[in-house]
C-alpha cells in the first residue's frame, strides 16, 4: 500500500500538472497573446465571433469578409519619418548630382539638409513630389527589386534593426486571426503602392494585389523591342484623406467590415465611413502613447503634437462618440515588437 502522504503528494502533483496544462492550453488558444485583457482586445474578439458564427444576427458571408489596414503607424513604425521616405532620402543625393536644379525645390532642399524635423514638417504633397521624381524612369519590377534590396540592408537609427523588424506584433496577430476566420486582409495606405506592394506578402502575409495606395502614373513604351511600363514623375492617384475609402470602394467594390488606422489626416474619414456603414462594423484607431517602447504623439489626450501620424483630439472625440475601438499602445499591448525580451 502507498503511504497516505505519497498519495497526497501524487494527487497534488496531478492537480498542479493539470493546472499547468490548462494554462498552457489557454495560452495556445489565445489568438491575441500580445494584447492585454481589456475592452480593446475583447471588442476585436467579439467582432470576429459575431461576424463569423453561423446563426448570429451579425453573421457575414465569407466572400464579404474584408478588413483594411493603414500601414504607417498602424502596422509598423512611422516616426520620426515614414519608412518609404527614408528609402527616397537615400536615393536623393545621387539624383541631385545628375539634376542639380532639383536642389532648389523645397522637398529636395529639406532632404539634402538631413534635418529630420525639417523633413518631417513637409506636407504630404511636398513629400510625394520628391517621391514621384525620385522613383520615376524605372519599371514597377525594377522598383520592387530596389525596395526589397534596401529593406534588407537599411537599419532604423533608433533600434539598429531592419525596418521589417519594426512591425507591431499585436497587429500581426490581428492579421493572422482575421485570416484564420475567413477575412481577406488589405492594406490601404497613403503611401506609394509601388513601394509597399513588393514587400507586403513577406512582411504582412498580404498579397500585392490587396494593397491600395497612392499610385504613380505608368506609361507604356517599347524599349529594345519589348513592351514595358515606365513610372512617370507624376501621381495618378492620391490615397489620402477621404480618398482612402473612396478609392478602396472604387477599386475593390466593397466597404471593409473592419478598418484599422491611426491618423486624423490619413484615416479619419475611412474609420468614420466604415463604422457608420450597415451591419456590424469595427473601426480601430491606434493611439501612440508609449514613448518608452515606441513613440508618444497625438496631440490627442495631451500627447505631443506631430506632423507625422497626427492623431487629433477631434478624431479622438469622434471615435469615442461613434464607438470606435481606440487602442492605447501603452495600456493595451504587453509587447510591441517580436524582438522584445
Question: Is 307 inside a domain boundary?
Answer: yes
Q: What is the pLDDT of residue 121?
A: 86
Range of the domain at 271: 33-80+162-332
In a domain, 337, yes or no: no
> What's the pLDDT at 35?
99
Taking the C-alpha atoms of residue 186 and residue 260, their distance in angstroms, rounded to an integer, is 10
Q: Is residue 221 part of a domain?
A: yes
The per-residue pLDDT for 128 is 84
Placement of cell 519599371 in the chain: 139
Q: Is residue 101 assigned to a domain? A: no
122 within a domain of the structure (yes/no) = no
CB neighbour list of residue 29: distance below 8 Å, 6 or more residues apart: none
Q: Could you list the mean pLDDT of each consecutive 10-residue stretch along the chain, which spans 341 residues?
A: 42 41 53 99 99 98 98 98 94 94 93 90 84 95 98 97 98 99 98 97 98 97 97 95 97 98 95 98 99 98 96 98 99 98 77
In a domain, 272, yes or no: yes
Cα 20 to Cα 9, 14, 25, 73: the distances in Å are 16, 10, 8, 37
Residue 104 lies in a domain: no
Residue 230: give its domain's CATH number: 3.40.50.1000
242: CB partners within 8 A, 6+ apart: 269
**pTM, two decimal places:** 0.90
Cis previous bond, 33, omega within 30: no
pLDDT at 117: 87
The total of structural domains in the chain comes to 1
- 199 located within any domain: yes
Amino acid at each position: 500500500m502507498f503511504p497516505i502522504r505519497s498519495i497526497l503528494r501524487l494527487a497534488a502533483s496531478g492537480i498542479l500538472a493539470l493546472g499547468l496544462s490548462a494554462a498552457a492550453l489557454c495560452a495556445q488558444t489565445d489568438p491575441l497573446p500580445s494584447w492585454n485583457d481589456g475592452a480593446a482586445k475583447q471588442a476585436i474578439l467579439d467582432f470576429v465571433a459575431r461576424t463569423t458564427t453561423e446563426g448570429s444576427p451579425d453573421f457575414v458571408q465569407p466572400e464579404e469578409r474584408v478588413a483594411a489596414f493603414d500601414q504607417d503607424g498602424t502596422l509598423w513604425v512611422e516616426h520620426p519619418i515614414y519608412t518609404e521616405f527614408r528609402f527616397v532620402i537615400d536615393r536623393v543625393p545621387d539624383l541631385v548630382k545628375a539634376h542639380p536644379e532639383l536642389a532648389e525645390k523645397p522637398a529636395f532642399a529639406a532632404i539634402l539638409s538631413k534635418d529630420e524635423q525639417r523633413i518631417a514638417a513637409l506636407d504630404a504633397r511636398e513629400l510625394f513630389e520628391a517621391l514621384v521624381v525620385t522613383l520615376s524612369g524605372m519599371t514597377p519590377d525594377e522598383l520592387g527589386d530596389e525596395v526589397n534590396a534596401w529593406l534588407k540592408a537599411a537599419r532604423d537609427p533608433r533600434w539598429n534593426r531592419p525596418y521589417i523588424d519594426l512591425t507591431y506584433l499585436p497587429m500581426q496577430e490581428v492579421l493572422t486571426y482575421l485570416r484564420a476566420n475567413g477575412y481577406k486582409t488589405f492594406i490601404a495606405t497613403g503611401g506609394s503602392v509601388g513601394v509597399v506592394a513588393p514587400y507586403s506578402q513577406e512582411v504582412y502575409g498580404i498579397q500585392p494585389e490587396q494593397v491600395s495606395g497612392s499610385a504613380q502614373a505608368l506609361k507604356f513604351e517599347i524599349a529594345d523591342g519589348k513592351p514595358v511600363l515606365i513610372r512617370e514623375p507624376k501621381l495618378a492617384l492620391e490615397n489620402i484623406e477621404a480618398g482612402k475609402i473612396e478609392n478602396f470602394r472604387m477599386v475593390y467594390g466593397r466597404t471593409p467590415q473592419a478598418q484599422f488606422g491611426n491618423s486624423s489626416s490619413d484615416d479619419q474619414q475611412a474609420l468614420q465611413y466604415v463604422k457608420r456603414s450597415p451591419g456590424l462594423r469595427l473601426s480601430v484607431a491606434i493611439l501612440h502613447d508609449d514613448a518608452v517602447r515606441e513613440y508618444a504623439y497625438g496631440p490627442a489626450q495631451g500627447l505631443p503634437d506631430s506632423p507625422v501620424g497626427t492623431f487629433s483630439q477631434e478624431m479622438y472625440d469622434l471615435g469615442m462618440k461613434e464607438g470606435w475601438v481606440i487602442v492605447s499602445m501603452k495600456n493595451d499591448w504587453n509587447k510591441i515588437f517580436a524582438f522584445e525580451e
